[in-house]
Amino acid sequence: MLSGNKILIVEDDPEMTSLFSDVASELGYQIGVAQTLDKAKQESAEHLPDLVILDRMLADGSDGLGYLEWLNALEGKRPGILVASRLTSVSDHVLGLELGADDYINKPFEREELRARLRAVARRVASIRVPASVIIFDTLEVRTLNRQALVKGTPLALRPQSFSLLNAIAERQGEWVSRKALWHEVWTDYRNLSPQDTVINTAISRLRGVLSSVEGAPEIVSEDLGYRLVRANEL
């Protein structure tokens, strides 16, 4: 199913690299390895991978989350990101998600858990899930089949997470959606945690930035009730 897709393993521990490589090979990925942050950037600049497994504490003393910060400064397609680290606190998870990771797995972990999480990230990025309809709100069209959003026919450059967030808000057709509901619908792997305000705020801010860059796009407003879409000339 994933044949031909590339995965970049950013990891300096040989045993972990071997485990990641074995599981990725079983899933049909072509494999690249980087032991340092600079090497990861170089590999990605030459050939952007489809998925990245990202360690936090690398051989050059850098934090692997620097790779996410580097990605955030770029435009265009983004790989799916699975952070795998021995930094396991809730604040570590929140930081990774806030910077744009799709998932965060604690070391040590079972082989089958790694396999399942890689598949889940791949599904989100590849948009395998087939939704029910097209959502129209004023000038906004959300095509859930191919996970594309347009304003007056102009495609929006959205990350997978940003699309999921916009879809969850747009399907309410201007009605309020709570932070808790958004957390459960968008950050599905973290439903067992309380909604993380910093993660949600960062994601909303990023989505607002994309919408504001297109003339005539609806706007996202927020109150204690949560969030909702309003028409561009409604405020």
Element (H, E) at 170: helix 160-170
Q: For the sheet containing 30-34, what is the strand order?
A: 30-34, 6-10, 51-54, 80-85, 103-106
- For residue 2, the model assigns a pLDDT of 47
- For residue 127, the model assigns a pLDDT of 52
- For residue 235, the model assigns a pLDDT of 62
- For residue 46, the model assigns a pLDDT of 86
pLDDT values of the chain reduced to their tens digit, one per residue, 235 residues: 444 589 999 999 999 999 999 999 999 899 999 999 999 999 998 888 989 999 999 988 999 999 999 988 876 678 899 999 999 999 999 999 999 899 999 999 999 999 999 998 988 776 533 444 688 899 999 988 788 999 998 899 999 999 999 999 999 989 999 999 999 999 988 878 888 999 999 999 999 999 999 999 999 999 888 999 999 877 6
Distance of CA 169 to CAs 64, 101, 131, Å?
32, 21, 15
Is-contact 82 105, C-beta < 8 A? yes
All structural domains of the chain, each given as residue ranges with its CATH number in brackets, are 6-126 (3.40.50.2300), 134-230 (1.10.10.10)
pLDDT in tens, 73-112: 876 678 899 999 999 999 999 999 999 899 999 999 999 9
Is-contact 183 196, C-beta < 8 A? yes
- For residue 3, the model assigns a pLDDT of 45
Read off the tokens for 23: 């599981």
Q: What are phi and psi of 62, to 5 degrees?
A: -90, 160
- For residue 193, the model assigns a pLDDT of 86
